[in-house]
Chain A
Amino acid sequence: MIRHLISAADLSRDDALLILDTAGELAQIADRPMRKLPTLRGRTVVNLFYEDSTRTRISFEAAAKRLSADVINFSAKGSSVAKGESLKDTALTLEAMGADAVVIRHGASGAPHRLAGWVRGSVINAGDGAHEHPTQALLDAFTMRSRLGRLEGLRVTIVGDVLHSRVARSNVLLLHTLGAEVTLVAPPTLLPVAVSSWPCEVSYDLDTELPKSDVVMMLRVQAERMNAAYFPTVREYSRRYGLDGDRMATLPEDAIVMHPGPMNRGVEIAAGVADSARSTIVEQVANGVSIRMAVLYLMLGGAEASS
């Protein structure tokens, strides 16, 4: 198994499938009365969060605790720009405390790369700037597989602010590795200029893509993008790229609707869609814990733990 999980591209197909399979086994523990495993007893996992993300932090915390690891939450809001301690000094501090794994969320793309150069423990990227969020992609793949039974050949449409989305980057890479066919849909302003080099298709028209989608994943759109002229108004964005009930009705019968959260109801996704039977949004949260358990288990526990 890999030492650091920084990009979804770090994962081979076998690694990724092992994580998904392991998560499936670990998910069953959640249904037992005694939810804890002793696997990581005595190991220390640090959650180093430079951005607010209650959802992701709690998910990693729950995962580590269910594996009996000691968890240290280190919230360093504001970046090193704000005259705080530098990332390197923080890294050396964590190193001195004997962190076996550091889960890092940071507003700067590449911060986990830098951290990995300064600590001996494993680095797990929990979202860095507009770069990647590999455990989100893993939990998304896990959710797709549990709902639809396969990933190979699955047609996945990812809609929204791809340019600024770490979720989109990780999903494109991982789903490609796992044999799914990804189409990105967004206004041209919210796609990287060189998106044609990515292993996926690109479309500007949501309505033509929906009828051929097994999965549609809506990305959060931030209102402040409007001020930078990425789109004229939130309403226009919503009309052209939002998923409402009428659009959802054009999806194939078994297709599912995903969202990494937090949602802007009424902007990229209508409330009725978010709460529909097709929606996997709550499952994604539950699956997140299982996936993160699997990642910690495989990266820290390794062979000794499974024996």
Chain B
Amino acid sequence: MNDGNGGSARAWLIRGAQPLGGPATDLLVRDGIIAETGAGLSAEGAHLLDAAGLIALPGLVDLHTHLREPGREDAETVQTGTAAAALGGYTAVHAMANTDPVADTAGVAEQIWRLGRRAGYCDVRPVGAVTAGLSGERLAELGAMADSAARVRIFSDDGKCVSDAVLMRRALEYVKAFDGVVAQHAQEPRLTSGAQMNEGVVSGRLGLAGWPAVAEEAIIARDCLLAAHVGSALHVCHVSTAGSVEIIRWAKSKGWRVTAEVTPHHLLLTDELAVGYDPVYKVNPPLRTVGDVAALRAGLADGTIDCVATDHAPHPLEDKETEWQVAAFGMTGLETALRVVQEAMVETGQLDWAGVADRMSARPAAIGRLGGVGAPLHGSPLVPGSPANLVLYDPSVRELVDPAQHASRSRNSPFAGRELPGCVQATFLRGLPTVLDGKLAR
């Protein structure tokens, strides 16, 4: 580990890991790739890592991360956000565009990409804004961002919905020229004016303005039809309702190019948590009901929902230590995502570890176009010749979540004080450890 550029660092011999939870094997990592796998490997001079009992997964890929830099460095920076990502087992994250200034030009996208290269904890792929300034009025220079050094392929006004149907149609059409995808934050703005939480039994009781499921579902239905009409690729951000899952299942059955993500928190938490008015549970889209959680899990299990994406949304304490109504929307998630997925999907028997690898690495990498020529490969299977992006995970422990221990600059984890299974022991990015013994390796 004598340089940080993936050069001729010493090799690592990982002993006895279980790729995708299968039989134990050794993995020899050299020159940034997985050089060899098999029992009883030896390599002179290599670092040894005893991985007995640890599951090996391809490095996780997050399609939806708010790194907050530039603009809100009090909440997160590329450095702290990517450190949090590495500790969560991620080797690539997609940085959302709603920074200040907005990532709506090639210049800002490249700035974020460079900050990611410098931080070195994981690859940072900027997401470009769909509309200039996230204003929803005119398209940003999507082509310039696609052609930039950052090679932007995902475009999103996340945090805001591209609600204008014509603008959405044009964006979907335009990105076809460079194999882009439009990632929609599905929220009909008129139906959610002033909305605070899921509209239902709990919102009625608490007197908080309701956020109806239909506000999400109506936009998803419209966008699926638009994507089909113009033959383009739509990605649906943070699906949160049972109805949305149904609509996406239907769109996929037609063969349309629609993909979708779900957040860890929507797989585990419900709107009942709002009863104490603690804004740590305030998030956009809002936490929904037990029925929605069940539908989201089933959708992720059967592949209707392609992947888990964190929507890691750090906020400083003062933006959450307030009345619910004035608090910021959002939750941190990078450092707990894999643990939550184990709790919600693996322990319930709905996904095995191969399924986890698919939903948290291979599929998001494919949606983010991270497999292309010249790009650092993510989401590849753990076989000889693949880039050595991997995570070693201990599924056997259970611990309380303590946000004070997190590398993220913010503490707004909704899992604080909750016991979750699992622990990321090590993360490798192109053959170099970013995390060892559950701690940052540099």
Contacts and interface: CB of A to CB of B under 8 A. Distances in A.
Contacts of B276: 113
Contact of A110 (B208, B210, B212): B208
A108 B206 CA distance: 11
Contact of B200 (A79, A130, A166, A193): A193
Interface stretch (B73-81, B227-235, B318-326): B318-326
Contact of B208 (A107, A109, A114, A132): A109
A109 B324 contact: yes
A169 B207 contact: yes
Given A192-B210, A193-B210, A109 B204 contact: no
Contact of A108 (B203, B321, B323): B323
Contact of A109 (B200, B277, B318): B277
A58 to B, nearest CB: 24
B204 A197 contact: yes
Nearest to A168: B207
Contacts of A128: 207
A193 B198 CA distance: 11
A90 B432 CA distance: 50
Specify which of B201, B207, B277, B326 lies most central, judged by the most chain A CB atoms within 10 Å of its CB. Answer: B207
B326 A110 contact: no
Contact of A79 (B199, B203, B204, B326): B326
Given A109-B277, A131-B207, A193 B323 contact: no
B418 interface: no
A107 B326 CA distance: 11
A87 interface: yes
A131 B202 CA distance: 11
Interface in B78-128: none
Specify which of A79, A164, A194 lies most central, judged by the most chain B CB atoms within 10 Å of its CB. Answer: A194
Nearest to A164: B207
Nearest to A191: B204
A194 B208 contact: no
Interface string B317-350: 0100111111000000000000000000000000
A110 B206 contact: yes
Contacts of B196: 109
Contact of A194 (B200, B209, B318, B321): B200
Contacts of A88: 321-322
Contacts of B206: 109-110, 131
A195 interface: yes
By size class, the interface of chain B is 20 to 34
Interface in B203-248: 203-210, 212
Interface in B124-160: none
A111 interface: yes
Contact of B323 (A111, A132, A169, A197): A111
A198 interface: yes
A131 B276 CA distance: 12
Contact of B322 (A80, A113, A132, A169): A80
Contacts of B322: 80, 86-88, 114
Specify which of A87, A128, A131, A192 lies most central, judged by the most chain B CB atoms within 10 Å of its CB. Answer: A192
A65 to B, nearest CB: 29
Contact of B326 (A80, A164, A166, A169): A80
A57 interface: no
A220 interface: no
A106 interface: yes
A198 B207 contact: no
Nearest to B212: A193
Nearest to A197: B201
Nearest to B324: A110
B204 A193 contact: yes
A128 B276 CA distance: 14
Interface in A192-230: 192-195, 197-198
Contacts of B209: 130
A81 interface: yes
A129 interface: yes
Nearest to B210: A193
Given A86-B318, A113-B276, A113-B277, A194 B204 contact: yes
Nearest to A82: B326
Contacts of B326: 79-81, 108
Interface string A261-284: 000000000000000000000000
Contacts of A108: 323-326
B194 to A, nearest CB: 10
Interface in A173-198: 192-195, 197-198
B277 A110 contact: yes
A155 B325 CA distance: 35
A132 B321 CA distance: 21
B321 A109 contact: no
A194 B201 contact: yes
Contacts of B321: 86, 88
Interface of B: 196, 199-201, 203-210, 212, 276-277, 318, 321-326
25 contacts: A79-B326, A80-B322, A81-B326, A86-B322, A87-B323, A88-B322, A106-B323, A108-B323, A108-B325, A109-B207, A109-B208, A109-B277, A110-B277, A110-B325, A113-B276, A114-B277, A114-B322, A114-B323, A129-B207, A129-B208, A132-B207, A164-B207, A193-B204, A197-B201, A198-B204
Interface of A: 79-81, 86-88, 106-111, 113-114, 128-132, 164, 166, 169, 192-195, 197-198
Given A81-B326, A129-B207, A194-B204, 8 more contacts: A80-B323, A87-B322, A88-B322, A109-B196, A114-B324, A130-B209, A193-B212, A197-B204
Q: Closest 10 CB pairs between A and B?
A: A110-B277, A192-B204, A131-B207, A130-B207, A108-B323, A108-B325, A109-B207, A194-B201, A113-B277, A197-B201
